[in-house]
Structure 1
Amino acid sequence: LAEELDVPMMMHVHETAGEIQMAVGNTGERPLTRLKNLGLLSPRLLAVHMTQLTEDEIALVAETGTQVVHCPESNLKLASGFAPVEKLRKAGVNVALGTDGAASNNDLDMIGEARTAAFLGKGVSLQADALPASEILQMATLNGARALGRDDQLGSLEIGKQADMVAVDMNRLETQPVYDPVAQLIYAASRDQVTHTWVGGRCLMENRKLTTLNEAVILKNAQQWQEKIAGADRD
């Protein structure tokens, strides 16, 4: 159906060792092998997490053009394991950066996620030069667009693409002096330094004020849901 409709597919794959053990017990196959036999490994598939990979599986992902979405903070919070991002990258796999959901990554902060991915990639590979800041920035932008099959429209600032932009104020004590803006963004900046966002050229946040959403209403709704969920837990 995905082939017929020309749409991508996304699923969590090889997220935990327990998931793989269960799959082998139920089907006799590791999930990636089963997906391959079902014809689902292709550039159309976004495989999220991928913390449990053998060398042969990394080669299989590269061979089939399967896209990988790396969610390091979710993996850390749930003790899922570590994605071999540097090995995947060197094998030619497109690795994008994600946050996973709020239940397993509370802040959904892409700048924080980028920093964690950079540090974790170095630690896992035991290489200080692994996953340089420029590569992490690409994972958070163009690689994500590529994984979605929309890199002709999104992911970089080019004529003919959508004007999706974020402005980050580096004129703070925490991010001065700036020698390399990309390195400073990944290793030193924080999300509260994002001042403006544009999607398709439309300003959605201006000087840290939302332009299309009512913050008071959002806060009220959040508090109502908090009370409702807390009440359900008590019951």
Structure 2
Amino acid sequence: MDTVLLLPRLLVPVRPRLQVLEQMAVVLEGETIKAVLPRSEAIATYQDAGRIELPEHVLLPGFINMHTHSAMSLLRGYADDLNLQVWLNEHIWPIEKAFVGPDFVHDGTRLAIAEMLRGGTTFFNDLYFFPEVTAAAAVEAGIRACIGLPVIDVPTAWAGDENDYIDKGLRVSESWQNEPLLNTAFSPHAPYSVGDDALRRIAKISTERDLRVHMHVLESGWEVDESIRQHGKPTLERLHDVGLLNERLLAVHMTQLNGTDLTALAGADVNVIHCPESNLKLGNGICEVGKLHDHGVNLALGTDSAASNNDLDLLAESRTAALLAKGYSADPCVMNAFQALEMLTINAAKALGMSNQLGSIEAGKLADLCAVRLDSLHTTPMYDVVSHLIYTVSSQQVSHVWVGGRMLIQDGGFLHLDVDEIIDKAKYWEQKITAQARAARSKEYNLHE
């Protein structure tokens, strides 16, 4: 088993908290971190080990993107400046009905993976159709993923009804259960698009198999009203009644909270996934992360899809999250830079139930890491590296990425992905989707003549 020493200028291990270390080495052995030692001691102890000098870099845990629809990278910029229901019902769902299949999901997921890796993301938590294709693309690329098993109350190219979605999802979960890069979660789309019987069945499976449940929750004001109209009760009360309000729930967005909700979330140990840029772009409101943090709720970050963000840049997302929290609360102390970094790393690992394996640089954990170059104009001078990471650094400064000790990005270049091929495939879909959109507009125009 090969041993490699990583020798960065600075090390931010995340755990212990608030530490920034100099003259340190991280010892990789196979897929794990064997030790974190002073540089001189590591070199003396592991004289035959390979060495990777990172003289102008900070070494960090790999970032974890806690909410993606990766294949939707092929719809980046397709429908912008629209409210959520118009965006979904009149644009996204119709174009998905026309094009989504295994090839679309494969090519879109590879595009998303390349973008995420280049920005330091080593794990993504996905929710999309044809999850078996997403799983295969992730393993092929060498990135870690939690594969969402979608459930929705309308037929799609992947499944016919709610029970069909669940049955197919179980087969996908079982087929990938021995793959070390993957785990799975059930992903009912939203409370308004999945019925009570299906939610109860998902809750039972989640409990029996210890699976996470990844779900859009309280994303818009419309959803709040719709829950009362459809079910006669608020969303979180309904989720409690069907057995989903617990520590396995990854509740995405959460922009429509009241005081009772905060207490319920904290009491049930629910994990909240904050997607500030998507929420801002769709005008859905703002997740009150300051209040959630004060109540002890675990908070992590996701980008959402490139169709509603429009990128998968977690460093940019963390900056938006920190600044938005300060502006919304009128308190500059809300969500400091280190707390924002925790949302990208250890908090996300906790949400996944993997904080003993991921999210910090500690001996025995998986070697999912990224290095960021600091010798650029806009990161000079530097007095506080964590502040720079959140408020200054660009994702293009990510220079190296490792997943399970395997280097995937070196000096900003891909070692195992054919980026030219990925871009060519994306352009192919751009041409197909553009032609479809033009034909639809032409038909609509003719009908109105």
Find the counterpart in structure 2 of residue 28 from structure 1: 232
CA distance in structure 1 between the aligned counterparts of 2:429 and 2:309, rounded to whole angstroms: 19
- Relative CO higher for 1 or 2, CA cutoff 8 Å, sep ≥ 6? 2
Find the counterpart in structure 2 of residue 59 from structure 1: 263
Q: Which runs of 4+ in 1 moved over 3 A?
A: none
Find the counterpart in structure 2 of residue 129 from structure 1: 333
User: Which residue identity lines up with residue 122 of structure 1 in the other structure?
Assistant: K
* Cα distance, 1:124 vs structure 2: 1.3
Aligned-CA RMSD value: 0.7
Find the counterpart in structure 1 of residue 379 from structure 2: 175
User: Which residue identity lines up with residue 168 of structure 1 in the other structure?
Assistant: V
Is the strand fraction higher in 1 or 2? 2
1:35-74 deviation digits (Å, cap 9, x = unpaired): 0111210000000000000011001000000000000000
Find the counterpart in structure 1 of residue 306 from structure 2: 102
1:114 paired with 2:330, answer no
Find the counterpart in structure 1 of residue 135 from structure 2: none
CA distance in structure 2 between the aligned counterparts of 1:97 and 1:216, rounded to whole angstroms: 29
* Cα distance, 1:132 vs structure 2: 0.3
Return 5+ residue gaps in structure 1 as ranges. none
* Cα distance, 1:105 vs structure 2: 1.0
Find the counterpart in structure 1 of residue 244 from structure 2: 40
1:229 paired with 2:433, answer yes
Higher alpha-carbon Rg: 2
1:111-160 deviation digits (Å, cap 9, x = unpaired): 10000000001111111111000000001110001001111111111111
SS in 1 for 2:375: coil
Map 1:74-89 to 2 at 5 A. Answer: 74-89=278-293
User: Which residue identity lines up with residue 175 of structure 1 in the other structure?
Assistant: T
User: Which residue identity lines up with residue 199 of structure 1 in the other structure?
Assistant: V
What is the identity percentage for the equivalent residue pairs of Structure 1 and Structure 2?
Answer: 47
Q: TM-score, normalised by structure 1?
A: 0.99
Find the counterpart in structure 2 of residue 15 from structure 1: 219
Find the counterpart in structure 2 of residue 212 from structure 1: 416
Among residues 388, 397, 405, which one is paired with 1:201 in the alignment?
A: 405
Map 1:146-161 to 2 at 5 A. Answer: 146-161=350-365
Find the counterpart in structure 1 of residue 208 from structure 2: 4
SS in 2 for 1:96: strand
Q: How many residues align?
A: 235
User: Which residue identity lines up with residue 181 of structure 1 in the other structure?
Assistant: V
Among residues 289, 292, 295, which one is paired with 1:91 in the alignment?
A: 295
CA distance in structure 2 between the aligned counterparts of 1:113 and 1:204, rounded to whole angstroms: 22
CA distance in structure 1 between the aligned counterparts of 2:393 and 2:288, rounded to whole angstroms: 25
CA distance in structure 2 between the aligned counterparts of 1:163 and 1:126, rounded to whole angstroms: 39
SS in 1 for 2:245: coil
* Cα distance, 1:232 vs structure 2: 1.1
CA distance in structure 2 between the aligned counterparts of 1:131 and 1:9, rounded to whole angstroms: 26
CA distance in structure 2 between the aligned counterparts of 1:78 and 1:149, rounded to whole angstroms: 30
Q: TM-score, normalised by structure 2?
A: 0.52
CA distance in structure 2 between the aligned counterparts of 1:32 and 1:125, rounded to whole angstroms: 24
